[in-house]
Structure 1
């Protein structure tokens, strides 16, 4: 499963555009002006990469875009801290990720379930822990967990260390609000809470080729995604992702082209993007699922609501739209598919009792 910002938005967190707006509003006048210059023609992740290039390549009092190396590094830290604050899940609606966790808790497949996400928030970790679902995110430890490359790269049946299959794999491709840079920025550790004010959060991978150590563990996790996508006869579910990262997009479509017996199901909440439709029409094992139409087996057409439609799958009556592209409905559907009926409903919320019951079920 590959999750993007749409999954977090279904829980009440900001999407990319809103996140950029929130970050900008928290900056002081000088930082806001510098941030606006960097945002011209870029998104917030591209801004972070550019700031890190400036900090790494400029020396002394030399400036690029009006920033010295120290100023670029300071703005990078400030922006990351603003992101951490904006993604606070204290008031988030955990029902969608709770339903996802309920499905995961009962999933029993030959290979471990792997969840890849470009989100930084702690929604998934919170839901998995409340339902007692064991998971492995690449780090070992509690207070200052260290990244273990050999465990991330290990495969079932291979010699050496291997994390048991009952552990869900949770891979955060672009970092997390509880990843912190240590040892002068050359090591990433995971702590038990969002990174406190004044400390450098490890959000979004640096694309600086001149210092590979600053790109760990991101390059290992991207390689893990590539290998997972190329696993023969795999079902890949993609939800809440706007295909805004060209590098990840090419990995997905390259795997779809080479692994013809795998299935790639993409849920699109907005209208189907023309470029995605074109590629799906050329790649029959890529299924685009929109609310009003879909591309299935290379054929694009609109939906027709069936006479005996399953409850909660369609909204709006006879001329309605498919509900599954909304992550809230998709997660609820997956929870029901486990065959257990005690999934969370959209109008409920995770509470202490449901968390305990979920843990007991596991």
Structure 2
């Protein structure tokens, strides 16, 4: 498949452009023609029996841009130790082996943690210095996440922050507004920030995850199939699913997930969205407490517990017949995620929708590896991946818009003569 800077592949329709018109009649003509192909196709795809949304850092970047705020930089860092060169070399090799392209902070943290583990055996005194350096960089990373959140929620330009919030709500409702008789939308994200939770609060969506409890929510393995029902007035013994409920899994952890050393449990701390970096619940030494990948948090057993369970949820949700995954802002740089997506596409009735700002070697490598063009929908380029354009022109309207649905049905059934007389 020949892919250019802008284009789409939806079913039997495909269009590609080297340059997309910036404005004017030509752009509007292309948008109208593209919408005729894309919106009905996505509307049909979104009604799949099992529906999943995979969100990467691109969503935070898009919402942050709309709010006039910058997103967290995932680029390489310097730990300031004599092992930095070895850490960088190992991180670069790991990124290359996973087809990630250039290494980023996550690759460096994995390598730094491997160095720390070795030094704790060979030279505990030197290990203390490396641990302090990792703690310092993790603290800076957490602070940058909170600064990004603050810019999205409380930016200086109130008009922009309001518009960004509206875009986020519209984006989520396009996916979450499924009939309550259908299985819940399951949202998976590799992000550490709480943008999705913030969007659910704004949209009035109830998010079901593995945490149980009000004052001190605890990560539980036994609460996977919990749902929300209600009893309609006058009907007994026939509970119905509540509308506006989604499932949420943060497969790389979250900045407010902390390991409780006393109880050996993962708890969610009450850190407000966009809280200041000096908030009392933000730890000063996050290495042994904050549960963000690839933090070992005390021991291998604890590491395997949250992340292994979350990836089992991911595989169980998408690797089944009649399942659809829509990815937005995910760069296909995580081999463990790509492997599950590739396994899903071995089932003929599954489908993958990729919405990406651009085409890089990681995306090309994934598409070349899976080779399932008939099961893949592509929306590529700055125009199609732009959050405002996507929400306004291409994503289907929420399926629970009863007023629009009834109006359409009335107009369809109304005699032409009566219509013309009015």
After TM superposition, the score normalised by the length of structure 1 is: 0.70
Structure whose alpha-carbon radius of gyration is higher: 2
Tell me the SS of whatever aligns to 2:374: coil
Q: 2:83 and 2:215 mapped to 1: Cα distance?
A: 35
Does 2:87 align with 1:38?
A: yes
Q: Which residue of 1 aligns with 2:50?
A: none
In structure 1, what is the Cα distance between the partners aligned to 2:329 and 2:349? 24
User: Does the 8 Å CA contact 1:137/1:169 hold for their aligned counterparts?
Assistant: yes
Is the contact made by 1:277 and 1:288 (CA closer than 8 Å) also made in structure 2?
no
Match of 1:9?
61
Aligned twin of 1:306: none
Distance 1:341 1:261, change over 3 A: same
1:99 CA drift (Å): 1.7
- Report what 2:338 is aligned to: 249
Q: What CA distance in whole angstroms lies between the structure 1 residues aligned with 2:129 and 2:215?
A: 30
Q: Deviations over 1:218-269 (max 9, x none)?
A: 1100110001111320121011111101111011011111x11011111121
1:220 is matched with which residue? Answer: 309
Greater shift after overlay, 260-269 or 84-93?
Answer: 84-93
CA contact (8 A) 1:173 1:222 kept: yes
**1:132 aligned partner:** 204
Q: What SS does structure 1 have at the residue aligned with 2:197? A: helix
> How much does 1:75 deviate?
3.0
Deviation at 1:104, TM superposition (A): 4.8
* Equivalent position of 2:167 in the other structure: 96
Determine helix, strand or coil for the equivalent of 1:178.
Answer: strand
Question: Aligned with 1:68: secondary structure?
Answer: helix
* Aligned residue among 119, 130, 151 for 2:191: 119
Give me the whole-angstrom Cα distance separating, in 1, the residues matched to 2:338 and 2:296.
17
> Structure 1 stretches of 5 or more lacking a match?
157-163, 292-320, 343-362
Paired position in structure 2 for 1:330: 390
Q: Does 1:168 align with 2:256?
A: no
Q: Deviation at 1:15? A: 5.9
Cross-structure match for 2:220: 148
* CA-CA distance at 1:107 after TM superposition: 2.5
Write the distance in 2 (CA, Å) between the matches of 1:335 and 1:182: 43
Partner of 1:85: 143
Contact 1:238 1:265 in 2 (8 A): yes
Q: Deviations over 1:94-127 (max 9, x none)?
A: 3432222333553325111100000111111111
1:50 aligns with 2:124: no
Structure with higher RCO (Cα < 8 A, 6+ apart): 2
Map of 1:198 onto structure 2? 284
Give the length in aligned residue pairs: 294
State how far apart, in whole Å, the 2-side matches of 1:138 and 1:20 are. Answer: 30
1:299-314 alignment, distance < 5 Å: none
The Cα of 1:277 is off from its aligned counterpart by 3.7
Cα distance, 1:199 vs structure 2? 4.5
Q: CA deviation at 1:212?
A: 1.9
Q: Which residue of 2 aligns with 1:19?
A: 74
- Deviation, 1:82, is 1.5
Equivalent residue number for residue 288 of structure 1: 378
- Out of 339, 355, 359, the residue aligned to residue 267 of structure 1 is 355
d(CA) in 1 for partners of 2:265, 2:298:
16
Contact 1:94 1:123 in 2 (8 A): no
**Any idea what SS the aligned residue of 2:282 has?**
coil
Choose which of 202, 223, 229 in structure 1 pairs with 2:318.
229
**Alpha-carbon distance between aligned partners in 2 of 1:240 and 1:278, rounded to the nearest angstrom:** 20
| TM-aligned CA distance change 1:253 to 1:53, over 3 Å | same
- RMSD of aligned C-alpha atoms? 3.4
Per-residue Cα deviation, 1:262-310 (whole angstroms, up to 9, x for no partner): 111111211264323424544521223313xxxxxxxxxxxxxxxxxxx
Partner of 1:75: 133
Counterpart CA distance in 2 for 1:80 and 1:341 is 47
Q: Does the aligned pair in 1 maintain the 2:345–2:372 contact within 8 Å?
A: no
| Alpha-carbon distance in structure 1 between the residues aligned to 2:370 and 2:376 | 5
1:106 aligns with 2:177: yes
SS at match of 2:313: helix
Deviation at 1:147, TM superposition (A): 0.4
Secondary structure in 1 aligned to 2:377?
strand
Q: Distance in 1 between matches of 2:109 and 2:259?
A: 15
Q: How does 1:172-183 map to 2 (within 5 A)?
A: 172-183=250-261
Give per-residue Cα distances to partners, 1:58-101, cap 9 Å, x unaligned. 336627xxx93333333333222212211121111434322223
User: Which has more helix, going by share of residues?
Assistant: 2
- Structure 1 residues 49 and 142 mapped into 2: Cα distance closer, same or farther (>3 Å)? farther
- Deviation at 1:153? 6.3
TM-score (norm 2): 0.61
Structure 2, gaps ≥5 residues long: 1-52, 93-102, 153-163, 229-240, 273-280, 404-422
